[in-house]
Amino acid sequence: MKIWGIHKKYRYLSWWENFTGGHISFWRITIFGANAMRWSVQIRTKKWGYICFTLPVLARIMTRKDGTRWLHWYLYLSPNGTPWACTYYIGHDSSERIRAQIRKMNFGHGFNSERHHNELYALNHKFQWFTLTCYDIEEFGKKDE
């Protein structure tokens, strides 16, 4: 089916899924649609790497297991466009904010993520969770001796 001379890329998807499921790029800006990025924008800069943020759309509202809803949003600066290497983060995930500060202290901002791949991988896995567990309480809690 052609609409305005444009044909669908994937014939098994609906017209809406075909044209909102990908992304649009112009100059140094990429706008992501209804795909894994779920309505977000990436802007490539020379000074900060990538500036990534979410668009305020209803698709960003998530439902927890208990039925409560929350807005999944973020703004981050990253040398390679992924939150895995971001050095500045604000958003819903407080653990990611802490990891971003740790990455900035260790690598600085705008570091080469390919050259420091092994160190970045180790750092991200070392500080994967910032939650208190029963093991932490037993091991490091106050001990009456």
Q: In this structure, what token pair is assigned to residue 40?
A: 């977000």
Q: Supply φ then ψ for residue 136, to 5 degrees.
A: -60, -45
Picking from 30, 7, 32, 6, the residue whose alpha carbon sits closest to that of residue 21 is: 32
Full pLDDT tens readout for the chain, 145 residues? 444 455 666 677 776 666 667 778 889 998 887 777 778 899 999 888 999 999 888 777 888 889 888 888 999 999 999 989 999 999 988 889 999 999 999 999 889 989 999 999 888 888 877 777 777 778 777 766 5
Predicted model pTM: 0.74
Q: Please report the beta strands in the chain, taking only residues with DSSP state E, as ranges in sequence order.
A: 2-3, 6-7, 23-26, 29-32, 40-45, 49-54, 61-63, 69-71, 74-78, 88-91
Q: What is the pLDDT of residue 16?
A: 67
